[in-house]
Amino acid sequence: MSSAEPTEQTGPAVRSHPQHPQHAERLQHPQHAERPSRPAPMPGLAESARLLADSTTTSTALVADALARIEAAQPTLNAFRHLRAEAALAEAAEADRRLAAGERLPLLGVPVAVKDDTDVAGLPTHFGCDGERPPVTADSEAVRRLRAAGAVVVGKTNSCELGQWPFTEGPAFGATRNPWNTAHTPGGSSGGSAAAVAAGLVPAALGSDGAGSVRIPAAWTHLVGIKPQRGRVSVHPHHDAFQGLTVNGPLARTVADAALLLDAAAGAHPDDFHRPPAVRASDAARRDPGRLRIALAWRPPLTLTGAGPDPEVRRAVAALAETLARLGHHVEEARPRYGLIGLTFVPRATAGIAEFAARHPEPALLDPRTRSALRTGTRLGGRVVRAARAREVRQHRRIGALFETYDVLLTPTTAAPPPRIGTFDRLGAWRTDVTMAAACPYAWPWNVLGWPGINVPAGFTRSGLPLGAQLLGPSRSEERLIALAAQLEDDLRWYEHRPPIS
């Protein structure tokens, strides 16, 4: 594994939006900003918590450092939509007072970021869209739980419009770029969170995953990304986001950090539809997974594109499979029985987009592809969506039969390396969907099923672009997947590789 050479790019064109003056500060416009030198990356999530508990540093220092690093990287990476500089520094000072008084919480005083589909009181939730939105008045349940664990939310990261695509670009904010090579996308739709963590701007960040939107950017930025069981992390105030497809999950450089953020954010709101029993993710990250039976699947579900993995993707995932075998696991190729699962995904996904798009105050500002999805989702809503969701039980049985023989399913996370910025520009709705399905055919079935999966770094292309592999399991199998990912990390030490922009 080797790191990439930096590629110089001019800053993306972004438009800042008015924010609540008491809680948010306008990000510097890349076209008019100088590019100061960047400080060294900050410590990880668990290390930051340890340093604070030991009084080796202060929350004020960590938060100020994160804010400075974000501002410095914004002209190049464009990872953030909003910052909470004044409010975050005030919360850091309060965290320092609590720490000095002897209080201890899992993330007390540690800076984190959340994606811009997540409500943070005092900030608008644009979810990648253009136009003005008023600040929301209450935190989402996931943010409430992060705050209860002591975390300081420094800002909200960029997402593509309504989280639809595996790239993070749009007229509302410009293009978010990959710190491994700024000519390429970090993926999407949690691309801002992934870019921020990979570049060392924050120790970890929360994303959301409705068709791979945590795992895909994790793969393309050399991170650990966990898609938890449906309901593990509340999506409130959206009790059943995107017809049950979307879940919130962490992005981090290590398994331990991702597990710590998952533990902090996990838990249901009283109104949530899905309420799985609790897991202890951090404990699992310290546990030996035992000897597991692992199925390696190359063939993606039917997407009508005929796409298979790029040769460099296949090489990287095959090498990871060999590592698993060397660690004592039984690994063999298998073919999951996906069936026509895409026929149930499309109605749920487009109906979910339609539900969010219908709430936009200025529909004319939406991307034409979004408006196309809105029309499709409206046509497929109601009876068709209910029928699609009713098939989930049979899909659990058919695909779940694999786990009568195997413990874990291993697949590529994506079929291709990260595309160049602008690859999807000027494509219509159909061509965007086809191009997207060819590049990312592996992740979305687990959103239909509602089951957990983890992206782990799988190395790099010969030109230095990151690649990833998925560890997928049956219902409520996060602890097994986390333990296996941690064992891989101990052997491969992927966290030692940092991007040129960090």
Q: Which residues carry out catalysis? A: 115, 189, 213
User: What's the rounded Cα separation, in Å, for the pair 485 and 492?
Assistant: 10
Q: List C-alpha distances in Å: 294 to 315, 484, 495.
A: 18, 11, 24
- DSSP character for 25? B
Q: How many CA atoms lie within 13 A of 39 on its CB side?
A: 15
* φ, ψ for residue 410, nearest 5 deg: -110, 125
User: What's the rounded Cα separation, in Å, for the pair 353 and 375?
Assistant: 10
> Which amino acid, 265?
A
Contact 413, 212 (CB under 8 A): yes
User: What's the rounded Cα separation, in Å, for the pair 252 and 226?
Assistant: 9
First CA to last CA distance, the chain: 18
User: What's the rounded Cα separation, in Å, for the pair 488 and 321?
Assistant: 10
> Which amino acid, 297?
A
- Closest alpha carbon to 367 in 191, 173, 189, 171: 171
Strands (E), 235-355: 247-252, 293-296, 330-333
User: What's the rounded Cα separation, in Å, for the pair 162 and 246?
Assistant: 11
Contact 154, 84 (CB under 8 A): yes
Enumerate residues 6+ apart whose C-beta is below 8 A from 313.
412, 414, 415, 416, 417, 467
- Closest alpha carbon to 82 in 126, 30, 144: 126
The dihedral region occupied by 163, where left means phi > 0, alpha psi between -120 and 50, and beta the remainder, is left
> Which amino acid, 348?
R
